[in-house]
Structure 1
Amino acid sequence: MKVLVVFLLGLTLALAEHDHDHHHHHHESYVVKTHDDLVTYRSYCAEKVHASEELVEKYKKWQYPDDAVTHCYLECVFQKFGFYDAEHGFDVHKIHVQLAGAGAEVNHSDETHQKIANCAETHSKEGNSCAKAYHAGMCFMNANLQLVQHSVKV
């Protein structure tokens, strides 16, 4: 899905360029991830979920079918980035801060934050943890495409 590639690339750029001046104390311990981290996480997660060579090839082309293996693959990638865990779901604040980019002031009561939060909440009771991560992540990317595309250009 092209939306996912835009999201992950934008996320990677935002993460790589993000400084440690978060303006929010609860994010100070977050370690910024790089493109190399993303590559490592993708390999690790593909192996962890026993993705077939065919699926791995699809992932390399940014194609993410709606199936159980892919759900868990994306859950793993989101977990490795520090944006998702099975017990607490998505960390809406971290996602918003990362997409805002380096040094940006983030208003956690703005429309973007609400879109992220709505997607996380809408899918919070949906199936298992892998399904929640996949569907909420896809919802978020679809709801915030312009922001994600902008973060790629930064």
Structure 2
Amino acid sequence: MKYFIVILAAVVLAQAADDDWVPKTPEEFNAIRRECHKEFPFSKELQKQEDNLDFSDDETVRKYEVCVFRKWGIIDAEDNFHGERLVKQFDAVLDEVENIEQKVNNCVDKNEQGSPIDVYASRIQRCIDKTDIAPNLLKVIGKL
């Protein structure tokens, strides 16, 4: 019984930690993007690609993506990717996109390949960019 209580307490604490995360407003999200661009500046060519949601497999872009995901709270300190937070975020700001949860879940894998965090984050980003989530999100947050 003692172990059951400890396990139950751990589950409750884990759920409470997830419940603390709240979706970002477009202003907060853009502030995160600007901070990460300061840390990982893009060349003019990379900036043009970003404006068209066409992220290349470039080291600077991958580091920028990890920066954004970390500050956003989508990747935690242990490099765990929280797809459920992406779903919450998109549900909060997008009303034109159907099946957001399914589309996010199709993109978020468990990194069975053991890829470095930047490669993992970039793989998810590129997948989401191929859905209708990305252009609709860009309409909400605007360009930097």
Q: Which band: TM-score by shorter chain? A: 0.5 to 0.7
2:44 equivalent to 1:54: yes
Cα gap change, 1:122/1:138 in structure 2, threshold over 3 Å: closer, same or farther?
farther
Which residues of 2 match residues 92-131 of structure 1 at below 5 A?
Answer: 92-101=83-92, 112-121=100-109, 123-125=111-113, 127-131=115-119
**1:27 Cα deviation from its structure 2 partner:** 4.0
1:107 paired residue number: none
2:120 paired residue number: 132
Any unmatched runs of 5+ in structure 2?
Answer: 1-14
CA contact (8 A) 1:124 1:132 kept: no
**1:79 Cα deviation from its structure 2 partner:** 1.5
Cα distance in 1 for partners of 2:102, 2:86 equals 12
RMSD across aligned positions (CA): 3.5
CA contact (8 A) 1:89 1:124 kept: no
Greater C-alpha radius of gyration: 2
- The structure 1 residue matched to 2:26, chosen from 35, 51, 75, is 35
Q: TM-score, normalised by structure 2?
A: 0.61
CA contact (8 A) 1:99 1:148 kept: no
Larger RCO (CA within 8 A; separation ≥ 6): 1
Cα distance in 1 for partners of 2:134, 2:46 equals 27
- The structure 2 residue matched to 1:74, chosen from 52, 65, 68, is 65
CA contact (8 A) 1:33 1:81 kept: yes
Deviations 1:51-103 (A, max 9, x none): 3442563366244222111011111112111112363432111111222227x
**1:36 Cα deviation from its structure 2 partner:** 2.5
2:56 paired residue number: 65
Moved more, 126-135 or 52-61: 52-61
2:89 equivalent to 1:89: no
Q: TM-score, normalised by structure 1?
A: 0.58
**1:140 Cα deviation from its structure 2 partner:** 3.0
Any unmatched runs of 5+ in structure 1?
Answer: 1-23, 105-110
Give 1:71's aligned amino acid: R
Deviant stretches of 4+, over 6 Å: none
1:3 paired residue number: none
Give 2:67's aligned amino acid: C
